[in-house]
Amino acid sequence: MESRQSALFLYEEAMLFAYSAALRAAAAIGVADHLAAGPRSAADLAAATGVEADTLHRILRPLAARGIAEHHGDGRWSLTGKGAALCSDAEVPACAGILMFTDPMFWTMTHELSASAADRDRTFERGFGQSLDAYFDVDEDRARLFYDGMETVSDAENPLVARSYEFPESGTVMDLGGRFGGLLMVVLRQNLGLYGVLFDRGPLVERNRLGGEDAADLAGRWEAVGGDYFVEIPPADIYLLKRGLHNWGDEDCVRLLTNCRRAMKPDGRVLVIDAIVPDGNEPHVSKAMDYLMLAVLTGRERTVAELEPLVDAADLRISRVIPTPSPMSIVECVVR
């Protein structure tokens, strides 16, 4: 590609954030709910949303270029199948996740990375003046946005992850840092002989979904245990660590895996469920996710080769890596 064409291509790449911004605007306005019943004109949408018709037209146009919406010849707009999860009544509504991924925390830190990349002492505190936990603790709405967003992302992934692994017919499966218990709920429903333990900090597990009316079928098959997995972990046959390592640096990952190794029952397994980065140059969402982790300074997405020494240091070994139909892979770890 000659230099002039390269420059034009790179300029277009540099503007890709505009598509994410338009998606955020559509999610925040709630325009998709007004398209659920079928195509509508920008004027109709303006009346329904309180947003100017021309503004809506220009928000939806880049989404149409990405296959999320469609502009019809008669001036009406509709959603495509790709955009269906923008509706609040979708099976897995995506708006909370979209607002979370486009939160100023990510926007700001990714934007400033070019200026701070050479600073070896970069921390979240230096970027935002407070720790990541404090960033959420001081603003209840911000915390709710982030964790609700992560929960909707997980709701899309969890059934695909659970179906990709052959769990034993019986035993105890423990979801470490499982927060609301969405993954454990799916695993227990798909494996009727398993008993589940949701393990996380006390204030978090108290708000779990397993005790809700929509999980009445799981009564008697689970318990919630409060604690710190960097201190001590109860015994179990299988440990689930979904996005449990990507939040931490290497030393903390070894501490966590070592605690699993000490507590696990004979023939136990640790399932590291993360967005494993492929070695080649092919596109994969893990590479964008790792850039976000780099920007907010809380951990990293890893290749299998980067995971292996951490697993080895905990006296475990990787027995196999199982891809799933989601961005997540399952890295099964057993005793060496």
The CATH number for 195's domain is: 3.40.50.150
Burial 135-149 (b: 16+ CB within 10 A, else e): bbeeeeeeeebbbbb
As a whole number, the mean pLDDT across the chain is 92
Both structure tokens of 172: 């105890």
Domain match, 230 and 331 both: yes
Domain match, 78 and 169 both: no
Query: Residue 150 domain-assigned?
Result: no
Q: DSSP string spanning 111-156?
A: HHHHHHTT-TT--HHHHHSS-HHHHHHT-HHHHHHHHHHHHHHHHH
Domain boundary among 90, 112, 136: 90
What pTM value is reported for the model? 0.90
Query: Residue 83 domain-assigned?
Result: yes
**What is the pLDDT confidence band of residue 122, given thresholds at 50, 70 and 90?**
low
Residues 6+ away with beta carbon under 8 Å from 96: 145, 148, 149, 151, 152
Domain boundary among 90, 116, 150: 90
Query: Residue 112 domain-assigned?
Result: no
Query: Residue 105 domain-assigned?
Result: no
Residue 246 annotated to the active site? yes
Q: DSSP string spanning 244-305?
A: SSTTS-HHHHHHHHHHHHHHPPTT-EEEEEE-PPPSSSS--HHHHHHHHHHHHTS-----HH
Mean pLDDT of 284-309: 91
pLDDT digits (tens, 9 = 90+) for 32-42: 999 999 999 99
Q: Does 329 score more than 70 pLDDT?
A: yes
Query: Residue 45 domain-assigned?
Result: yes
CATH classification at residue 85 = 1.10.10.10
Q: Give the active site residue among 57, 71, 111, 246.
A: 246
Query: Residue 154 domain-assigned?
Result: no
Domain boundary among 90, 105, 140: 90
Q: Does 266 score more than 80 pLDDT?
A: yes
Query: Residue 279 domain-assigned?
Result: yes
Q: Does 120 score more than 70 pLDDT?
A: no
Domain match, 172 and 64 both: no
Domain match, 202 and 289 both: yes
* C-beta of residue 261 within 8 angstroms of C-beta of residue 316: yes
* C-beta of residue 80 within 8 angstroms of C-beta of residue 67: yes
Domain match, 174 and 318 both: yes
Domain match, 171 and 289 both: yes
* C-beta of residue 100 within 8 angstroms of C-beta of residue 148: yes
Domain match, 173 and 56 both: no
Q: How many domains does the chain have?
A: 2
Q: Calculate what percentage of the chain has a pLDDT beyond 90.
A: 75
Question: Which of 120-129, 193-202, 225-234 is predicted with the least confidence, judged by mean pLDDT?
Answer: 120-129
Q: Which domain holds residue 191?
A: 165-335
Domain match, 80 and 171 both: no
Distance CA 89, CA 101 (A): 20
